Amino acid sequence: MHEQVVINSIEFARNGETLSGSVAVEDLGRLRDLLFSGEGKLDYTLTGRRGGNGKLFLKCAAKGMLQLKCQRCLDVLPYPVSFESDLELIEGGQEATGAVNEEELTDAVKADPNMDVLALVEEEVLLGLPMAPMHAPEDCKADRNFGQAKLDEQHVFSALAALKTQDHRN
């Protein structure tokens, strides 16, 4: 288990606080499960901000390199992470209105007096990952096999088509 980093998100945003740190990728369990290896670390910065109408925001930024798994050849695929997301804090009592605040085009996150910072960073990283990461065709080890499988498939289809044509004739 990794060390927990906890903030009172409401106070943090209200006071315009900033928190920076880094976390080993290995320690982010949900993310780690999707990766080729847990090598590397992510640097993150969390910044609180008070917006108009008493709204509170957290800006979550992270940078680092992840070792994703190519979905075609299952080999390592280095993937640079670099993002900044602006999150509106939604008070616990309010009805959760889905993930997106339509007016300001920011995502929302539930205000929490004991917010797990690393879990938040992990969640934001997960949201930004490609669904099916793959090497560029020229870099992918499986590319030749993949092309061959396509050809075989076509072969089967044309064989089936030929059978159907024969049926028609009979």
Sites of contact with Zn ion (CB under 5 A): 70, 72-73, 135, 140
User: Between the CA of residue 35 and those of 29, 46, 66, 118, 144, what are the distances in Å?
Assistant: 10, 24, 8, 17, 24
Minimum separation from the CB atom of position 108 to Zn ion (A): 36
**Of residues 78 and 128, the one with the C-beta less far from Zn ion:** 78
Q: Count how many Cα atoms sit within 13 Å of the Cα of residue 59 in the half-sphere of its side chain.
A: 13
Closer by beta carbon to Zn ion, 105 or else 136: 136
Distance (Å, whole) CA 94 – CA 35: 36
Name the residue nearer to Zn ion (CB basis): 84 or 139.
139
Gyration radius of the chain over CA positions: 23
Name the minimum Å distance from CB 57 to Zn ion.
Answer: 39
Of 51, 48, 42, give the one whose Cα is nearest residue 24: 42
DSSP-based helix, strand, coil % in the chain, nearest 5: 35, 35, 30
Compute the least distance from the CB of residue 134 to Zn ion, in Å. 6
Residue 61 near residue 74, CB atoms below 8 Å: no
Provide the minimum distance between the beta carbon of 153 and Zn ion in the complex, in angstroms, as a whole number: 19
Closer Cβ to Zn ion, 86 or 143, answer by number: 143
